Amino acid sequence: MTRALNTIWGIVLAAGSGTRLAEATQGERKQYLEYKSAPLFWHCARTFSRVARVKGLVFVFPPEDVPTMEKRLRQYFKSEDLGLKWTIVAGGARRQDSVRHGLTALPKDCGGVLVHDSARPFVAPRIITDLIASLDTGARGVIPAIPVTDTVKQVTAGTVAETLDRSELVAVQTPQAFETVLLKQAHEQAEAEGWDVTDDASMVERLTTVSVIPGEARNIKITVPDDLKYLETTKTTVPCVGWGYDVHRFGGSNDRPLVLGGVPIAGSTTIVAHSDGDVLLHALMDAMLGTFGGGDIGRHFPDTDPAFKGADSSVLLREVLSMAEEAGVHFVHTDLTIITQSPKLAPHADQITKNVCRLLGLERHQVNFKATTEEKMGFTGAKKGIKAVASVTGLRDL
C-alpha cells in the first residue's frame, strides 16, 4: 500500500536530567552541551530541516527551562531560519510523559510524527527520509536499528542464564516514526494502564506491528562520560570561494569622482552612486561575503540608508573583514577585473593593487588586478558605465 501522510512533524526530546553525565559536565544537562558551537538539540533540529517532508518541530524542555529556552529558540531561528514551524512544551517526569506532552502540541493535520532524542545529535537525514518512506508505504510504526555485534548473554544472580542468538538482536535508535493517531492511542492506553517503557515502539508493539529500517552506527546517544569524546572536535580548515559583481553608471559634473580600489582616478569621469561608487571594492565585498554566506552589500549597507551616503568603501570593507573574521574566514587570494572603455586604467594598476593588498592585509602575489574593454560593445563600450567582477579565495575554520 502506498500513501502519503499529509503533514509530518518531529518531536525533539530535550527534557532529560542527564544524571549519568552530571559530574563530567559540571551539572550541565546533556541536551545543552555544545558541539561545533551549537547545542545538541539544535543539531537535531538542523537535520530535521534538511528533510523536505518535515514541516515542523515540537521542542520538549524541562518545565523550569521553558521560558529561557523559548527566548533562546527565537534567537536561533532568527539567526538561522530552518524553514520549519515550531513550538515548545514542558516535559514530564519520565521520557514517555515528555513524549505525551509533545503529542498535545502537534497540529490537527499532523498525520505522521517522528520522536527523537536530542542526545543523538549525529542522526543523518537519510534515516528520517527512510522512516517517512516506510510510513508512506503502509507501516504504522517504524524504527531504525543496527545489528548487535557483541555476544549477548542473559545473566541472573551473577551467572549466565542463557546466551542469546545475536542474529535476532538489534540495537534500537531514534527517531522513531508513527502514525500520529496510533502513537496518541498508545500513550493514552499506557497512561490508563500504567505501562512504564523506555521507548515509544515498546508501547506501539502492544497494539500493532512495528517495522525496522537500517540505522547507522554513527547515530550514537550521548549517555555516559566516555561518550563526551564524540563531542570533541578537531579544527578543520576548508577552502571557500566567493564571486562578486557590481556596476555603476557614469555621471555628470555634479556626480561623484571616480574611485577604484580606494584610489582616486584623476580626470573628468564621474559616477552616479549613493556611496563613493567604488565599483571595484563593491564587487570585492560581495565576493568576500560570498565565502561565508553573508549575503550582499545591499543587505548590510543599503543605498536607502542616509548613513551610507557618500560612504568610503574602504571603511565598509573593514566592516566586511570583521564579519569574515567572526565567521572564521581569512582571505588568501583575490582576482579583480574592471571592465570599462574609459578611462585607461593601466597607469593606475600598480597603485590599485597595492591599496587592495593594504586593505586586505595580503602580499602582492595574493592580489591580481586587471582591466579590459568589451571592444566598444554594450553599455561599457558606449562609455555609459563601468563594471567590476571579483573572485576571492578564503580558508574557513570549521
Q: Residue 10: count other Cβ atoms within 10 Å of its Cβ.
A: 28
Residue from 282, 392, 391 nearest 332 by CA: 392
Torsional sign, CA 21, 25, 28, 30: negative
Q: pLDDT digit string (tens) for 60-103?
A: 999 999 999 999 999 999 989 899 999 999 999 999 999 999 99
Q: pLDDT digit string (tens) for 38-66?
A: 999 999 999 999 999 999 999 999 999 99
Task: Please state, rounded to an integer, the average pLDDT across all residues of the chain.
Answer: 93
Instruction: Delineate the domains of the chain, giving CATH numbers in brackets.
Output: 8-231 (3.90.550.10), 237-397 (3.30.1330.50)
Which pLDDT score is estimated for 27?
Answer: 65
Residue from 269, 245, 242, 266 nearest 339 by CA: 245
Higher-pLDDT residue of 149, 26? 149
Which pLDDT score is estimated for 1?
Answer: 61
- Check if the beta carbon of residue 151 is closer than 8 Å to that of residue 88: no
Say whether pLDDT at 235 is over 90. no
**189-193 contacts: CB < 8 A, separation 24 or more?**
190/96, 191/100
Q: Which residues pair with 248 in a beta bridge?
A: 386
Which pLDDT score is estimated for 2?
Answer: 67
The arithmetic mean of pLDDT across residues 13-20, rounded, is 80
- For 332, the grid coordinates are 588568501
Distance from C-alpha of 306 to C-alpha of 66, rounded to nearest angstrom: 41
Residue 22: pLDDT band with limits 50, 70, 90: low
The arithmetic mean of pLDDT across residues 369-390, rounded, is 96
What is the Cα gyration radius of the chain? 29
Burial of 338 (0-12, 13-18, 19+ CB in 10 A): buried
Q: pLDDT digit string (tens) for 108-139?
A: 999 999 999 999 999 999 999 999 999 999 99
Say whether pLDDT at 19 is over 80. no
Higher-pLDDT residue of 17, 193? 193
Predicted TM-score of the model (pTM)? 0.68
Burial of 251 (0-12, 13-18, 19+ CB in 10 A): middle
The DSSP 8-state label assigned to residue 168 in this structure reads G
Residue 68 CB partners (closer than 8 Å, separation 6+): none
Q: pLDDT digit string (tens) for 273-308?
A: 999 999 999 999 999 999 999 999 999 999 999 999
